[in-house]
Structure 1
């Protein structure tokens, strides 16, 4: 039994898809399937029930999963311990992020970090907030950038930093709203809306904002991808409410919302106030100027 086989098994178990698992571990699907098949042969039992459409864990797979996850976490912790003693950053840094992250240029920040610490393997995972929190809790992610809504975070989550982002309305530049500097949400009852539904926390914040303004939005389209939302608004199929920094990166008109400035809160989270992974500590210091401990 090889460590890589356990990594491949855990990836398939997480996604219940050989295609998505292969993408996560950066191997071709045929190699991943071969690796899992060899592990099943060594153990003498199938770990997955496979059909042409679905993949599911067998009872043996369910029994192996927590053990394999614990082994991988301990291997990760061992690498971190050695790195802490030698003073050389090595190993793996797992970072999670929501789709609409605009406060920090994460690709640029990770690129600079990699140039400074080339021996650190960086894994970046984009997912909805609930999935990111779960993966932080079980140790699959070292840190994660999330969007807060009005629910309480689990007690096992530590907030390392927070930021506020103003929310604005976007519309085509030839839209009548584009000529206004600001507008009350209550005046938008006749406007069609494109709604962003990617589990980023933004959706609940926007719903709460509209409830407070007594606005019942006429939602004509719901999307989960930012690029598609921007294209639909540009095509005149509706207006949308998004963070101001995101709006500034588009060619659309940005209209401020009148009244108290609406905002959403972003948070950088970890399992503990002091991440155990030295690479995570270095990233927080280099990118955000955070000195923990």
Structure 2
């Protein structure tokens, strides 16, 4: 069994097509097909069910694929670790960010990383904090940036606290409360709200603040990102809460009214990475955001 055969199996599984898999692997289709048939002969069972219209994994292929991916990842990590001993950083870096990340300029850090280590290949994805944490813990992401309520901490990963911030109320510019001062949650409780989905970290921090104040509110609109939230607010449909530091980096919020609230929700931003320890590319990226010495807490 050869690593190249594993790469071919993964490519066919992900494209469901031998031709596209061969193009991805930069080989002719006949060579790819021949190597997969050799592997199937060695295993004594077919990995793919082939018809004129589709290619799909057999039960044996379904069982084989996860370990094949792990073997390829381990081989890539071994090469990266060896190269790092002579100061060369290579390999892949997968980064997850919440849409409202504000404590770190992630793109500036990636630019610094690429300028210094151009052989690093980067994938960047957005998502809610709970999903990003799960993906880092499960090895699907190398590093992620989270925003959590002050009552929560990341679990199952290593983490470093980046910043703490209070949220501010964001309103349409012609809203009656747009010029308000000394507002509190009680003064906003009767307004319709736009917020992130129920149960998400971005939503929980505000829900908890209203609960502590003994108040309820009407979340009339749920959105998945801050850009959509800004559009709902701009049309006068609802008001919302967003981190104050995020507003400085959010052109979509330009022209909206921002009001400080005395008992506003708060959040903590973290950077997290997996328990086994960072890859050379992850370590280089953490250095680019200012963590030159990684002494972060390992959470349970």
Report the TM range for the smaller structure's normalisation: 0.7 to 0.9
| 1:206 corresponding residue in structure 2 | 206
| 1:266 corresponding residue in structure 2 | 269
Return the alpha-carbon distance in structure 1 between the equivalents of residues 114 and 160 of structure 2. Answer: 22
Instruction: After TM superposition, give the deviation of residue 164 of structure 1 in Å.
Output: 1.0
Instruction: After TM superposition, give the deviation of residue 287 of structure 1 in Å.
Output: 1.8
Q: Go from structure 1 to structure 2 and tell me whether the alpha carbon gap of 1:87 and 1:275 turns closer, same or farther (over 3 Å shift).
A: same
Q: Go from structure 1 to structure 2 and tell me whether the alpha carbon gap of 1:243 and 1:90 turns closer, same or farther (over 3 Å shift).
A: same
Instruction: After TM superposition, give the deviation of residue 206 of structure 1 in Å.
Output: 1.2
Instruction: After TM superposition, give the deviation of residue 118 of structure 1 in Å.
Output: 0.9
Q: CA RMSD, aligned part only?
A: 3.5
Which structure 2 residues correspond to residues 1-293 of structure 1 after superposition, within 5 A?
Answer: 2-8=5-11, 12=14, 31=20, 42=37, 43=40, 44-46=46-48, 59-149=59-149, 150-151=151-152, 153-154=154-155, 156-197=156-197, 201-248=201-248, 249=250, 250-251=253-254, 252-259=256-263, 262-272=265-275, 275-292=277-294
Q: Alpha-carbon deviations, 1:1-46, whole Å to 9, x = none?
A: 5454355467x4xxxxx6xxx9xxxxx9x82598799679644243
Instruction: After TM superposition, give the deviation of residue 290 of structure 1 in Å.
Output: 3.1
| 2:43 corresponding residue in structure 1 | none
Return the alpha-carbon distance in structure 1 between the equivalents of residues 237 and 49 of structure 2. Answer: 47
Instruction: After TM superposition, give the deviation of residue 268 of structure 1 in Å.
Output: 0.8
CA contact (8 A) 1:220 1:238 kept: yes
CA contact (8 A) 2:109 2:289 kept: yes
**Which consecutive segments of 4 or more residues in structure 1 shift more than 6 A?**
33-41
Instruction: After TM superposition, give the deviation of residue 138 of structure 1 in Å.
Output: 2.8
Q: TM-score, normalised by structure 1?
A: 0.79
Return the alpha-carbon distance in structure 2 between the equivalents of residues 139 and 199 of structure 1. Answer: 23
Q: TM-score, normalised by structure 2?
A: 0.77
Instruction: After TM superposition, give the deviation of residue 215 of structure 1 in Å.
Output: 2.5
CA contact (8 A) 1:142 1:280 kept: yes
Count of matched residue positions in the alignment of Structure 1 and Structure 2: 273
Provide structure 1 residue ranges, at least 5 long, that are not aligned to the other structure: 13-17, 23-27
Q: Go from structure 1 to structure 2 and tell me whether the alpha carbon gap of 1:57 and 1:257 turns closer, same or farther (over 3 Å shift).
A: farther
**Other structure's SS at 1:96 match:** strand
CA contact (8 A) 1:7 1:72 kept: no
Deviates more, 1:187-196 or 1:170-179: 187-196
Instruction: After TM superposition, give the deviation of residue 230 of structure 1 in Å.
Output: 0.4
Return the alpha-carbon distance in structure 1 between the equivalents of residues 49 and 213 of structure 2. Answer: 52
Q: Go from structure 1 to structure 2 and tell me whether the alpha carbon gap of 1:85 and 1:198 turns closer, same or farther (over 3 Å shift).
A: farther
Provide structure 2 residue ranges, at least 5 long, that are not aligned to the other structure: 41-45, 296-300
Instruction: After TM superposition, give the deviation of residue 130 of structure 1 in Å.
Output: 2.9
Instruction: After TM superposition, give the deviation of residue 75 of structure 1 in Å.
Output: 1.7
Return the alpha-carbon distance in structure 2 between the equivalents of residues 208 and 214 of structure 1. Answer: 10
Q: Go from structure 1 to structure 2 and tell me whether the alpha carbon gap of 1:224 and 1:74 turns closer, same or farther (over 3 Å shift).
A: same
Return the alpha-carbon distance in structure 2 between the equivalents of residues 66 and 136 of structure 1. Answer: 17
Return the alpha-carbon distance in structure 2 between the equivalents of residues 264 and 177 of structure 1. Answer: 24
